[in-house]
């Protein structure tokens, strides 16, 4: 398991070197989007309209941050559970999305899309929202302000600590539950 420092936008070369279990410290610009924002992004694509940010080499963080207290760019900002975005992720990867950041399992369609489009799925520590917010240096809403915590934000991150959960070679880091150990298989 290696540690890499990467900067956005991400490239095919960046992604090909990564293997499950590698730690990545990511610096640059990333975008927040979760359930309702994803639905709207897909609606825009269906209508042939432009997206609020450039997908090429981009990273989407599945997060709905808490409001920023005075003097801070953002509130707590840890990952939300990713499977709810599985419906939308393959299409976005096809259009240049290089990585998503969340927690929890992805479905087969997403794993296939990661291989096809040289992309990865990163995990961040769920529930460590206060800690993760420390590497977010700036945040501004760039679309769908009416969605409140679900609005799309452009974040400037510095050394955001990520773990490669699914790489573009078909690997997956999560432990398989040992059903035999409890007499279920």
Q: Which of 17, 44, 56, 127 binds another protein (CB under 8 A)?
A: 127
Exposure of 140 by Cβ count < 10 A (0-12 exposed, 13-18 middle, 19+ buried)? exposed
User: Binding string to another protein for residues 57 to 96, with x set by CB under 8 A, is what?
Assistant: ------xxxxxxx--x--xxxx-xx-x-------------
Q: 57 with 155: CB under 8 angstroms?
A: no
Number of residues that bind another protein (CB under 8 A): 44
User: CA–CA separation, 49 vs 177, rounded Å?
Assistant: 43
How far apart CA 175 and CA 121 sit, in angstroms, is 16
Task: Return the residue of 42, 45, 128, 141 that touches another protein, per CB under 8 A.
Answer: 128
List residues near another protein by CB under 8 A.
Answer: 35-36, 63-69, 72, 75-78, 80-81, 83, 103-105, 123, 125-131, 133-134, 147-150, 163, 173-175, 177-179, 181-182, 184
Residues designated as active site: 38
């Amino acid at each position: 398991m290696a540690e890499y420092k990467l900067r956005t936008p991400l490239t095919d070369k960046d992604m090909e070197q990564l293997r499950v279990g590698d730690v990545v410290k990511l610096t640059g610009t990333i975008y927040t989007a979760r359930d309702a924002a994803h639905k709207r992004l897909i609606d825009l694509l269906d209508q042939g309209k432009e997206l609020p940010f450039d997908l090429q080499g981009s990273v989407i963080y599945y997060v709905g941050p808490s409001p920023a207290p005075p003097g801070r760019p953002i509130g707590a900002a840890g990952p939300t559970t990713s499977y709810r975005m599985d419906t939308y992720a393959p299409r976005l990867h096809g259009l240049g999305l290089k990585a998503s950041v969340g927690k929890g399992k992805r479905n087969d369609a997403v794993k296939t899309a990661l291989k096809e489009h040289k992309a990865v799925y990163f995990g961040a520590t769920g529930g460590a929202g206060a800690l993760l917010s420390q590497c977010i240096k700036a945040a501004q809403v760039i679309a769908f302000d009416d969605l409140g915590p679900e609005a799309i934000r452009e974040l400037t991150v510095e050394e955001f600590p990520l773990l490669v959960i699914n790489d573009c070679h078909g690997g997956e880091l999560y432990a398989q539950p040992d059903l035999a150990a409890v007499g279920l298989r």
